[in-house]
Amino acid sequence: MNRGVLEGVRIVDFTWAWAGPYGTLLLSMLGAEVIKIESSKRPDHTRVRSLKAGRMDTSSPDHSTIFADLNYNKLGITLNLSRPEAIKLAKRLIAVSDVVVENFRPGVLKRLGLGYEVVKKLKPDIIMLSSSALGGFGPQRNYTGYAPTFAALGGLTHITGYADGEPKTLMGSVDLRSATATAFAILAALNHRATTGEGQYIDLSSRESVAVLIGDVLMDYAMNGRSQGRMGNDDGISAPHNCYRCQGEDKWVSIAVTTEEEWQAFRRAIGDPEWAKDEKFADGFRRWQNRAELDRHVAEWTRERTHYEVTEILQAAGVAAIPSFNGEELYTGPHLKERSCWVQIEHPVIGRRTTLGPPWNLSATPGKVYRHAPLLGQHNDLVFGELLGLSDDEIEHLRKDGVMV
Amino acid sequence: MATNALEGAKVLEFAEFVSGPFCAKLLADLGAEVIKVERPLVGDSARRKGPFPQDIPHSERSGLFLYLNTNKKGISLDVGTALGKRIFLKLVQWADILIEDHLPQEMEEMGLTYGALREVNPRLVMTSITPYGQTGPYANYRAYNLNTFHAGGEGYTTPSGSVDVDREPLKAGGYLADYDCGFSAGVATLAARLAQVTMGIGQHVDVSKQEAMMAIQRVELSNYPNDGQYSTRGMRTGPIGGLLPCKDGYVMVTAAENHQWLALMDFLGNPEWSQAQHWKDEMYRSRHAAEIQPKLEEAIRQYTKEEIYHGAQAKGCPIGIVYDAEDIFNSTQLRAREFFCEVEHPEVGRLKYPTVPYIFSKTPAEIKSPAPLLGQHNEAVLCDLLGYSRQDLVKMRQAGIV
């Protein structure tokens, strides 16, 4: 057997930006048919904006590489949702679909006449997920945010950074974390539907999807009334446990020694130096207490070697070490090559693009990235014509009339 | 009708610390029945990591362990013994899903490869969460959370916009990478579970933690293969604004779109420097961010975090406060959504636990039981489920198997 798990599952995707689209991209990798609804009146902002680079480029909706990387596999159609005819078409599409996903500000879709109460009448077993910054109800339901906002409000930013420095944020990856929660929730609902035939509505908060990733930090507050601060690479108990400079320009290796057995293995692997016999480093607690000095000794050893050499020596001894990889190394390194992580997809405007395949390997139902992100409105004929049965004339009329734009 | 999304799914967890247990917890909180296998006497290594109440270490009082193991049954079992292995295989037969986190060579040494377990249960979904996946030259390399974060590429660029690039690259706070891998494994596991339910097939799910971390960096990481460029910590990223100090803390300002910028200026009282026509143009602003950034920083400094947060959000600008744990507990929004729920545990009493980030209308997640004490369900599992007698159990205990 070699087909996607979600083959036959159709998803109507109203999402834009990063968090929503990556969630549906994951589901498309598993075989779902994702139909992305956009409009030239309101194109997905990643078609024109790079939040990370703080840039925008409106010369074409089809040459954004960020959009390309977050929307593989999907079909793209255009509907101007401010027009009643467009809402009618969206309803027809939903009636033949399994899942609806959206990340408008809470309440917007309802005002457009596409709220869950309406949608479930069109398709009683529909699964609908709304993803928003802070959730669909509550006093701050209308507050908005981007990835760094979720990281800040979710408590992650406060605990990220050097121990002696300011808080630091992660960027777009935070959206993709929320997207992972989105895909998980939809799959849970699909499992429930498979066993009971019942659909449902899911209200997902991106900020909460960050907060659950620092559960132990929240437990510390629950237990001790303490708000943990920043610790750099430290985990509060282990040493060596840091990134150490290696030979070359801005090359670093991460080393984590957490048990006595690993410390002994580490010591032997680096040639049992005199300093390692010092009382100061005699047990785990003293190593951690004296970690600044310990780190200096370790760095003296790593500096003489490449981060690959350090990794090889320490891993052979059973010690956890790996380079702090840069973008080049993750593309050219031998391990990922052998695991065929990267795939190439031809895009009509951008050209050939190399991108990451699915993040997991399912032996019987492998996921895949197989089609370039849709050009704006690329699949109008396919979806409205073949799927919904509109004639060419009708489509042409709706296009000219500003409905299908 | 089932009231839990994953009701009926039987999960065997042979994993410890964060990733595997978090993956199984995600399933358990949605109704899956999870039996967690721990080593006799020592148990899951998360039991030895804090936080502990009053900072007094105790293997039944770790906040990390308690959070990650809600809704599970726990047994202690030495799978390395012959009888222990036999019991484990019976549990594999019982299970729909096995979640494990051992290096491929360790599973091989124990005779517990997917090939062997499929013989016992052809419908089994086996999710293996390992640092670098089942194949390739790094397959048996070890990694902790620190390594995993750096292996995926995000460490190299953290902190972004750093002024001191000679300092070491950083992991994110806490065990973020390990949690991330658990969530990613959860997605793959539910996909495989669906195939099991709808197509009747089992399979092996290979989750490489490194690749799980790379996946959420997919936009960033595609730069090198396509443009020959990669980011470094020294690069300034993000639009105007960013992480800014205010009167009593920090706020995250992302006025990316024009209406958001205008909303922020409106909140700030439309200061004179913002009124020149060119500053109202998004393209111009993004090209000349460095000029206007200091003025924005100065303006933000005049407010408290609560003033800016609620004031600017009311105008339509996405601003967030850099919340610490206390702020999160006090958030009226999270309270309204009942994000925390009280759980009673025999050793630590009643505490508020974070729950889940999604609210299901028909099958809401629920914390029905606290994390298991070590070996708490030995009798329920070995005797009631697998049919061993109470006398057998006593002998197993004496032999150190359970």
pLDDT at B235: 79
The answer to whether residue A2 is domain-embedded is: no
- Tell me the mean pLDDT in the region B313-335: 98
pLDDT at A143: 97
The answer to whether residue A166 is domain-embedded is: yes
Instruction: Select from A270, A302, A325 the last residue of a domain.
Output: A325
> Is the pLDDT confidence value at A115 over 50?
yes
DSSP-based three-state secondary structure for A152: helix
Separation of alpha carbons A386 and A393, rounded Å = 13
B142 interface with A at CB cutoff 8 Å: yes
Q: How confident is residue A54, by pLDDT bands cut at 50, 70 and 90?
A: low
**Catalytic residue list contains A175:** yes
- The predicted-structure confidence for A365-387, as pLDDT tens digits, reads as follows 999 999 999 999 999 999 999 99
> Is the pLDDT confidence value at A389 over 50?
yes
Q: Are residues A74 and A207 in the same domain?
A: yes
Please identify among residues 325-384 of chain A the ones whose CB lies closer than 8 Å to any CB of chain B: 325-328, 330-331, 334-336, 338-339, 341-342, 353-356, 358-365, 367
Separation of alpha carbons A403 and B271, rounded Å = 41
Q: Are residues B159 and B246 in the same domain?
A: no
Ranges A191-200, B92-101, B235-244: which has the least confidence? B235-244
User: Alpha helix locations (H) across B250-337?
Assistant: 258-267, 282-287, 289-300, 305-315, 325-330, 332-336
> Is the pLDDT confidence value at A90 over 90?
yes
Q: Which chain A residue has its CA at the smallest distance from B290's CA? A: A54
Q: Which of A164, A137, A186, A156 is nearest to A26 (CA)?
A: A186
Structure tokens at B229: 């460029």
Q: Are residues B38 and B186 in the same domain?
A: yes
Percent share of chain A, pLDDT over 70: 97
Alpha-carbon gap: B393 to the closest alpha carbon of chain A (Å)? 32
The total domain count for chain A is 2
Q: Are residues B315 and B394 in the same domain?
A: no
Alpha-carbon gap: A149 to the closest alpha carbon of chain B (Å)? 5
Q: Are residues A257 and A345 in the same domain?
A: no
> Between chains, do A208 and B216 touch, taking CB under 8 Å as contact?
no
> Is the pLDDT confidence value at A1 over 60?
no
Instruction: Select from B301, B329, B357 the last residue of a domain.
Output: B329
**What pTM was computed for the model?**
0.98
Separation of alpha carbons A281 and A203, rounded Å = 51
CATH of the domain at B85: 3.40.50.10540
Q: Which residues of A touch B69 (CB under 8 A)?
A: none
Percent share of chain B, pLDDT over 70: 99
The answer to whether residue B338 is domain-embedded is: no
Q: Which residues of A touch B244 (CB under 8 A)?
A: none
Q: Are residues B371 and B280 in the same domain?
A: no
Q: How confident is residue A229, by pLDDT bands cut at 50, 70 and 90?
A: very high
- The predicted-structure confidence for A159-178, as pLDDT tens digits, reads as follows 999 999 999 999 999 999 99
Q: Are residues B280 and B372 in the same domain?
A: no
pLDDT at B238: 67
The answer to whether residue A223 is domain-embedded is: no
- Tell me the mean pLDDT in the region A58-73: 91
CATH of the domain at A316: 3.30.1540.10
Q: Which residues of B touch A214 (CB under 8 A)?
A: 173-174, 176, 179, 325
The answer to whether residue A61 is domain-embedded is: yes
Instruction: Select from A262, A293, A325 the last residue of a domain.
Output: A325
Which of A191, A201, A221 is the mutation pick for testing B, counting most B CBs within 10 A? A191
> Is the pLDDT confidence value at A51 over 80?
no
Residues 6+ apart with CB under 8 A from A224: B51, B53, B54, B55
**Three-state DSSP string of B60-103:** CCCHHHHHHCCCEEEEECCCCCHHHHHHHHHHHHHCCEEEECCC
- The predicted-structure confidence for B51-84, as pLDDT tens digits, reads as follows 999 999 999 999 999 999 999 999 999 999 999 9
pLDDT at A228: 98
Alpha-carbon gap: A100 to the closest alpha carbon of chain B (Å)? 14
B146 interface with A at CB cutoff 8 Å: yes
- Nearest by CB: A145 against B245, B318, B332: B318
- The predicted-structure confidence for B131-162, as pLDDT tens digits, reads as follows 999 999 999 999 999 999 999 999 999 999 88
Q: Are residues A20 and A134 in the same domain?
A: yes
Instruction: Select from A265, A292, A325 the last residue of a domain.
Output: A325
> Between chains, do A177 and B183 touch, taking CB under 8 Å as contact?
yes
The answer to whether residue B349 is domain-embedded is: no
Instruction: Select from B277, B305, B329 the last residue of a domain.
Output: B329
Q: How confident is residue A52, by pLDDT bands cut at 50, 70 and 90?
A: low
Q: Which chain A residue has its CA at the smallest distance from B184's CA? A: A180
> Between chains, do B187 and A218 touch, taking CB under 8 Å as contact?
no
> Is the pLDDT confidence value at A223 over 90?
yes
Q: Which chain B residue has its CA at the smallest distance from A125's CA? A: B362
Q: What is the largest CA-CA distance in chain B?
A: 86
Say which amino acid occupies A141: R
The answer to whether residue B140 is domain-embedded is: yes
Alpha-carbon gap: B148 to the closest alpha carbon of chain A (Å)? 8
The answer to whether residue B222 is domain-embedded is: no
Q: Can you give the residue range of the structural domain that contains B389?
A: 10-217+367-398
Say which amino acid occupies A240: P
Instruction: Select from B329, B354, B384 the last residue of a domain.
Output: B329
Alpha-carbon gap: A367 to the closest alpha carbon of chain B (Å)? 10
> Between chains, do A53 and B237 touch, taking CB under 8 Å as contact?
yes
pLDDT at B358: 98
Q: Are residues B68 and B193 in the same domain?
A: yes
Structure tokens at A141: 């339901």
> Between chains, do B239 and A51 touch, taking CB under 8 Å as contact?
yes
Residues 6+ apart with CB under 8 A from B154: A170, A173, B172, B213, B216, B217, B220
CATH of the domain at B264: 3.30.1540.10
Q: Are residues B247 and B209 in the same domain?
A: no
Alpha-carbon gap: B389 to the closest alpha carbon of chain A (Å)? 34
Burial grade of B77 (CB within 10 A; 0-12, 13-18, 19 or more): buried
A198 interface with B at CB cutoff 8 Å: yes
Q: Are residues A348 and A316 in the same domain?
A: no
The answer to whether residue A4 is domain-embedded is: no
Q: Are residues B248 and B371 in the same domain?
A: no
CATH of the domain at A361: 3.40.50.10540
Q: Which residues of A touch B286 (CB under 8 A)?
A: 54-56
Q: Are residues A101 and A51 in the same domain?
A: yes
B26 interface with A at CB cutoff 8 Å: yes
> Between chains, do A258 and B144 touch, taking CB under 8 Å as contact?
yes
Q: Are residues B184 and B54 in the same domain?
A: yes
Catalytic entry in A62, A69, A175, A203 = A175
Q: Are residues A255 and A288 in the same domain?
A: yes
Distance from the Cα of residue B174 to its chain's centroid: 10
> Is the pLDDT confidence value at B334 over 50?
yes
Sign for the CA dihedral angle at A327, A329, A332, A335 comes to negative
pLDDT at B161: 84
The total domain count for chain B is 2
Q: Are residues B41 and B160 in the same domain?
A: yes
The answer to whether residue A157 is domain-embedded is: yes
Contact (Cβ atoms closer than 8 angstroms) between residue A365 and residue A377 = no
Q: Can you give the residue range of the structural domain that contains A261?
A: 251-325
Q: Are residues B200 and B280 in the same domain?
A: no
Q: Which residues of A touch B6 (CB under 8 A)?
A: 188, 191-192
Q: Which chain B residue has its CA at the smallest distance from A205's CA? A: B357
